[in-house]
Structure 1
Amino acid sequence: MKKRFIAGAVCPKCGVMDKILNYQDEEKNYRECVACGYKDEILIRPVIKELETRVNRTEEEMQSQTQVIQFPPKE
């Protein structure tokens, strides 16, 4: 079982910062305060969908949305 500290996390019981450990036991995730001994189960929700940006779109998708604009010649 690998335990990791959560940077910047504050214990909900004693209020001390940077004393919270996160670890997984079988299929459940837990957080535990090393300062006061507080322990509870946390629910980690999976990311549902990545936001669409120009970085994660395929070349075909970008080309289908590209429009050619022609400007009138200068007089």
Structure 2
Amino acid sequence: MTNKKRFIAGASCPSCHSQDTLRWWIENNIELVECVECGYSEQRKPQSVEKAGRTSEQMIGIFKPE
């Protein structure tokens, strides 16, 4: 199955600053952005994965050395 890659209208590449050259798609639940002009790429995990990082841990106290 091929993923449909879409261009991001009006967006500028953070590397080469070209406008309308960034394309976006999702692969294995990871958002990918790539510049077709200079080859810059970026990956982002879905927000649900980022928030789930350390939710099961609780702080039990603060160590204050004297």
Q: Is this a same-fold pair by TM over 0.5?
A: yes
Contact 2:29/2:45 (<8 A) preserved: no
Give the distance between the partners of 2:22 and 2:34, measured in 1 at CA: 5
2:5 aligned partner: 3
**Which structure has the bigger radius of gyration?**
1
Per-residue deviation at 1:16?
0.2
Give the match for residue 34 of structure 1. Answer: 36
**1:43 positional shift:** 4.8
RMSD, matched Cα: 1.5
Task: Give the number of aligned pairs.
Answer: 46
% identical aligned pairs: 39
Instruction: Give the TM-score of the pair, scaled to structure 2.
Output: 0.63
- Asked which structure has the greater RCO (Cα within 8 Å, sep 6+), the reply is 2
TM-score, length basis structure 1: 0.56
Deviations 1:10-61 (A, max 9, x none): 0000000000000110110010000000001135548xxxxxxxxxxxxxxx
Gaps of 5+ in 1: 47-75
Structure 2: gaps spanning 5 or more residues: 49-66
